[in-house]
Chain A
């Protein structure tokens, strides 16, 4: 059997920059930050005061669109995923799945869900959690609670809503989840397991427990500077990650399937790899070993040499350790060829979407390859001397992008890299 090529035929986004791909891309190229002061009413005393949130108007729109799901399984990440999946399928011209639905699938990267303090407070008797009363009153558990939302709910609801009855998987590998899901989708199409997979990820941790999550781990940006300047990957004054929320989904399709229906093709997914640092739970390998190996393997999988890569959408979290480790890893992989690709971090614009991060970052990578335009890393005002590559500081760039990588490196040490090249 001839080798199957995998192409990208649809994109869908829901981020702080908007609910449409065009709107996101225009703002990203203009270097507009989606980070703002947190609107969560109860968060006045939170150390974290800024995040890249979906606006209340936008959230209302997508909640109305998926009103039934919002009522029963109302997790924000699930609603974002549903929205982005619908947009991606529409963008691909696949509003209706007319043919064999077993050939259509879903791959979703998902985060940890919403842990609500009220789920303890409501069932306290004195100072003890009253398990008996809790068990008798399960109907009172709120729709967004982790107790009503399996991690696989988004993939299940997307499949159910749009009639995709084949390949279906949910990956929970922290910040690498969405890129691993895209990689799983790529391989499923390439192997012949599916013809079309809508893939990516969605997440939201902008809730009270989520806001202290990264404070406890010491990786949240809590500086008291203007919110839009807080996410500053590769900058000397970077102080930690800034949470974002939303989803990014893409339609990955077998080439002949796409051509036969006259679909527009954004680009080709050319390769993928994953590795483990197996180093520390709380820090990347200081020499970027796992990340470098991952990029090298993905290049090998694509058959593209390092010289053929013009752009990297970096993991670029704006934490001290990650940005340095990623820089070192890029130098290891691309150093021998004597030139380094341009790198930019979408997290400077839309924050860190955590398990969903790889979704919008993949969409931006695909658009860079399709349009030869690279969004900037904003807030890169005083570069860290140890991070001394070309991070496309502050201003978008027009540049031939023959092929590009999108990196995601997860908490715990899971690494994933996906390769996109121009379709010809």
Chain B
């Protein structure tokens, strides 16, 4: 949605309710654990000395029951468990089970981080295929080496396979799409879900995202793309999965669902910065402006901004749009604690703020976390959440807690 353009078919945003949230990240394996740790100022990042950086991995992810073999589940890696855990929690929080809905009415939209092979998945094949000089002998690879690869390994390399496995497990057969791979794709997933509800193409929709698994390959890519490393010294990658359940407001009320919040607006734009390492300030401002216009709000109507990154362009854009002064809006950068969780970031941020928004004490703690100093009374009302890609894509969404104002 671009500034000033009316959207003829997307639902009036008041009609879309958030009725379930699920999340997993380095701080915990449920929304509650994450929020508690977040407000305690806990950080679970650890140093990765080889790469001279930090990273925040998900720990002790409880075993998730899936319909696939353990070896295939291992091949799919954390993508599968992060998605399954967050979908399961979100559906549970929404008090939805498979018997309650026609699977064809259930939309499913996710931003999915890149998938990478685990070196050990291909290592035996490489070793079987080496010449004496250390180069690959492809005759050997095609005759023998490739047989060392687990036959279903290719499935784990497809970005949509964890998503499809989740659809099998939870019986989701409606409108769907997998967007890739950064923060903007997480916002896009929520937008498409809201549209599917408004256009009557789904009755319930799951939307959110999954980060990349932290591995030598993902760290290398983040470094080569400037997401981490010398150009972004404070940044680090984080693993996460986060999903929300969306429903038309009237339906949610009708079935007695607990309403956690609602969607107010979206904005998107695209432009790479001059150095090609992030979105431009103009593009970020444009997305924020479009989201405000879509929500029918002035900048002063926003209480809290959840940043997507540590990037200076994003901070400058926020400063410009909000003409920051006094103490509004409060700015929070969750990546300082959980890392850059890419496609999972926007809904992870939504899960954190919506869990806090109804509780003035917790909200004041958030204010304390974000600014230090006095913890004065603070109520979270409308929240702007950014999802930005290092490739230049920008997405912004505005949500409001159920208990706001």
Contact = CB atoms under 8 A, between A and B. Distances in A.
Interface of A: 1, 3-4, 42-47, 102-103, 105-106, 110, 112-113, 115, 117-122, 124, 127, 129, 131-132, 134-136, 138, 141, 146-148, 150-153, 155-156, 159-160, 164-174, 180, 184, 187, 190-194, 208-209, 211-218, 273-282, 290, 293, 297, 410-414
A1 B8 CA distance: 6
A410 to B, nearest CB: 7
Contact of A115 (B10, B117, B201): B117
Contact of B163 (A184, A214, A277, A412): A412
What is the interface of chain B mostly: helix, strand, loop, or mixed? mixed
A47 B271 contact: no
B178 A120 contact: no
Interface in B164-217: 164-165, 167-168, 171-182, 184-185, 188, 192, 195, 201, 216-217
Given A151-B114, A276-B167, A411-B158, A193 B5 contact: yes
Given A43-B138, A120-B126, A280 B2 contact: no
B220 A134 contact: yes
Given A112-B157, A147-B220, A159-B270, 14 more contacts: A44-B138, A117-B125, A119-B217, A121-B136, A127-B127, A151-B180, A160-B272, A166-B2, A169-B185, A172-B181, A173-B160, A209-B122, A276-B164, A414-B160
Nearest to A104: B270
A415 B178 CA distance: 12
Interface of B: 1-3, 5-10, 50-52, 68, 103-104, 108, 112, 114-117, 119, 122-123, 125-127, 129-130, 134-136, 138-139, 141-143, 146, 149, 151-155, 157-161, 163-165, 167-168, 171-182, 184-185, 188, 192, 195, 201, 216-217, 219-221, 223-225, 268-272, 283, 286, 389-393
Most central of B123, B165, B391 by chain A CB within 10 Å: B391
B234 to A, nearest CB: 19
A165 B284 CA distance: 11
B220 A135 contact: yes
B217 A146 contact: yes
Given A167-B268, A276-B167, A278-B171, A112 B159 contact: yes
B146 A118 contact: no
A80 B188 CA distance: 25
Contact of A112 (B158, B268, B391): B158
Given A115-B117, A146-B116, A146-B221, A274 B151 contact: no
Contact of B392 (A105, A160, A173, A213): A160
A209 B129 CA distance: 13
B5 A165 contact: no
A217 B152 contact: yes
Nearest to B283: A165
Given A124-B126, A156-B391, A275 B176 contact: yes
Contacts of B125: 117
A146 B217 CA distance: 8
A193 B224 CA distance: 32
A168 B389 CA distance: 11
A164 B270 contact: yes
A165 B380 CA distance: 32
Contacts of A112: 115, 157-159
Contact of A216 (B142, B151, B185): B151
Contacts of A156: 270, 272, 389, 391-393
A208 B138 contact: yes
23 contacts: A47-B142, A119-B217, A120-B119, A134-B50, A134-B220, A141-B224, A146-B114, A159-B392, A164-B270, A166-B2, A168-B393, A169-B188, A173-B159, A180-B177, A191-B10, A212-B146, A214-B154, A273-B175, A276-B164, A276-B167, A278-B164, A278-B171, A278-B173
A110 B181 CA distance: 11
B142 A212 contact: yes
Nearest to A164: B270
Given A105-B270, A208-B138, A193 B7 contact: yes
A282 B68 CA distance: 11
Contact of B165 (A102, A281, A293): A281
Given A141-B220, A187-B195, A412 B143 contact: no
Nearest to A118: B136
Given A152-B389, A152-B391, A275 B104 contact: yes
